[in-house]
Amino acid sequence: MRILLVEDDPLLGKTTVRAMQSQQWAVDWTREGESVLNAVRLAVYDVIVLDVGLPGMDGFKTLQGLRACGNTQPVLMLTARDAVEDRVHGLELGADDYLVKPFALTELVARIQALTRRLHARQHNEILLGTLRLDLTAKRAFLADRPLELLPREWAVLVHLLNHAGKVVSKEQILGAISGWNETLSSNAIEVYISRLRTKIAPAGVAIRTIRGFGYLMEESADDFQS
């Protein structure tokens, strides 16, 4: 794989480059957001690891510029900001994953590998998160390659959440995605489906979090990356 690292901290940058190179990955390292757009014009990267707190053009503006010019390469953001609002902001701008500093280098490597697996899965009409895999063509779900039995409504809710993994979705958005104009579903029904799904997918290393006042956020569990 080829990785673009955008990190202004010299010590963290050096240790991160070494960790990536230990995986036999090619790494290009820049300390400025301004140089990223030029870098992606010259090379194709499997993953871009982008720090939020860059001098000059920060990570949010850099990401916004990438997506505005049509770049779709996976972006993993690094930040010292642990607030949910900051994470949601980055994900809404088009980030694919978020890692809060300080972090273990083993977790960074694992998250990069997970991003590339997800990209590969999407190319094969699959959705992958943790050990949870959905085959959209066959309409089948798997936990670590073991079949997962889902009711039709549970399948629809899970597909919608996975298609928006890392982003907060409201009950109204889920209702609109899984019901037709002539169907009547209540927000209570969504709560029931979410509760059932949480129980069924618990072993997969993923979680459906309730973000009070906003909706639900589906993401990989932090424990899944700890060694």
Q: pLDDT tens digits, residue range 181-212?
A: 455 677 888 999 999 999 999 888 899 999 98
Residues 139 and 161 in one domain: yes
Query: Among the three residues 123, 146, 173, which one is the final residue of a domain in this structure?
Result: 123
* pLDDT value, residue 154: 92
Residues 6 and 118 in one domain: yes
Number of domains in the chain: 2
CATH of the domain at 24: 3.40.50.2300
Percent of the chain clearing pLDDT 70 (strictly above): 92
Residues 119 and 134 in one domain: no
CATH of the domain at 169: 1.10.10.10
Residue 168 clears pLDDT 80, i.e. is over it: yes
Query: Among the three residues 123, 142, 173, which one is the final residue of a domain in this structure?
Result: 123
Residues 118 and 36 in one domain: yes
Cα gap 64→50, rounded to integer Å:
12
Residues 30 and 88 in one domain: yes
The region, left, alpha or beta by phi > 0 then psi within -120 to 50, assigned to residue 73 is beta
* pLDDT value, residue 184: 66
Residues 12 and 105 in one domain: yes
pLDDT digits (tens, 9 = 90+) for 53-84: 999 999 999 999 999 988 888 999 998 877 77
Cα gap 167→218, rounded to integer Å:
7
Calculate the average pLDDT of the chain.
Answer: 86
Cα gap 9→166, rounded to integer Å:
26
* pLDDT value, residue 116: 85
Residues 35 and 86 in one domain: yes
Cα gap 220→226, rounded to integer Å:
12
Which of 76, 121, 115 is CA-nearest to residue 95?
76
Q: Cα angle at 193 between 191 and 198, to 5 degrees?
A: 95
Residue 9 clears pLDDT 80, i.e. is over it: yes
86 falls in which pLDDT band (50, 70, 90)? confident
Residue 179 clears pLDDT 70, i.e. is over it: no
Residue 31 clears pLDDT 90, i.e. is over it: yes
Query: Among the three residues 88, 123, 158, which one is the final residue of a domain in this structure?
Result: 123
Residues 101 and 173 in one domain: no
Residue with the larger pLDDT of the pair 176 and 222: 176
Q: Are 132 and 146 in contact (CB under 8 A)?
A: no
Residues 193 and 208 in one domain: yes
Residues 142 and 75 in one domain: no
Residues 144 and 118 in one domain: no
CA dihedral 71, 73, 79, 81 (to 10 degrees): 70
Residues 84 and 180 in one domain: no
Instruction: Show the domain range for 187.
Output: 126-225
